[in-house]
Amino acid sequence: MSEEKCCIVSCDLPLDQTYWDNQYQAKKTGWDLGDVSPPIKSYIDTIENKEAKILIPGCGNTYEAEYLLEQGFTNVTVIDIAPTLVEHLKQKFAENKNITIVLVDFFEHQGTYDFIIEQTFFCALPPTMRQRYVWKMHQLLSDHGKLVGLLFNREFEVSPPFGGNLKEYEQLFRNAFVFNSISIAKNSIPARQNTELFIEFQKNSLTHINLYNFEGITCSGCMNTVIGKFLEIDGVLNVSINTNFTEIIIVSKTEIELKTLQETVVYDEKYKIVKAG
Ligand SMILES: C[S@@+](CC[C@H](N)C(=O)[O-])C[C@H]1O[C@@H](n2cnc3c(N)ncnc32)[C@H](O)[C@@H]1O
């Protein structure tokens, strides 16, 4: 387990640009495999269209991108929030026109991609950001685009990384994505054997997915009541609220008016819902 730890400072600090840059400056990158992750390598080998637009967020040393380039892919974008790392990548790939390297917060990034590769980025984010992650992934994928990669199916004593499990992921991504695959990866590296799920989630382009800020929920009982009430609205397919009850994603067949959502929770004056950016 120690192999997975990446904290060099108190993990109570915000997991912001300074935190991540410090990890690279101190060369404390316990997550770094030094090579393309085998399940992702196997998946890349099945992609026929070498011009597919591919994004790797929270790319780190991005052996996945290196492998894509070696295989002849021509439209690879990698993004990361850590300036020290991004500077290094820009030098490393300076001669290669097939890769774009961007220093940016994933949640600010704009674009449209056929594939987004997930490799220990989701687990690096505080769990309170998971709803935002789903919303942003949906936004960045082209119609029928795919989110592909690995999610941990275990918990950790020290975080990051933050763990999770199959049930939680099914609840989180349901209806925003079609689950083409979500099962224990067969060819993980030995240290991660049987602890990671390989996912291929296809964007459900028939659904609307909106992110809202929510105020007033103080316990999981109230959260479940609110979820239940939103699920009763005609056209709502899935509702998921983050772990500190501040963000909510609503997946629906048609656009739901904000007024309808506000009226649904008017029974408790503490509750406030507004659209998030
Ligand atoms: C655990 S590391 C994984 C790196 C790489 N994917 C790998 O497996 O080697 C998480 C990476 O996400 C980056 N990161 C964290 N928050 C980010 C954000 N909001 N936007 C973009 N990158 C972020 C960090 O700088 C770090 O490189």
Tens of pLDDT, residues 101-157: 999 999 999 999 999 999 999 999 999 999 999 999 999 999 989 999 999 999 999
Closest residue by CA, ligand 1 atom 9: 32
Amino acid 8: pLDDT:
40
Q: Which of 67, 80, 123 to mutate to test the pocket of ligand 1 (most atoms within 8 A of CB)?
A: 80
Of the candidates 69, 109, 73, 114, which has an alpha carbon nearest to the alpha carbon of residue 89? 69
> Higher pLDDT residue, 201 or 277?
201
Q: 3-state secondary structure string, 22-80?
A: HHHHCCCCCCCCCCCCHHHHHHHCCCCCCCCCEEEECCCCCHHHHHHHHCCCCCEEEEE
Atom of ligand 1 nearest to the CA of 56: 6
Q: Which atom of ligand 1 is nearest to the CA of 82?
A: 25
**What is the tens place of the pLDDT at every residue in 222-272?**
999 999 999 999 999 999 999 999 999 999 999 999 999 999 999 999 999
* Interval between CA 270 and ligand 1 midpoint (Å): 36
Question: Ligand 1 pocket test: which of 41, 102, 121 has the largest number of ligand atoms within 8 Å of its C-beta?
Answer: 121
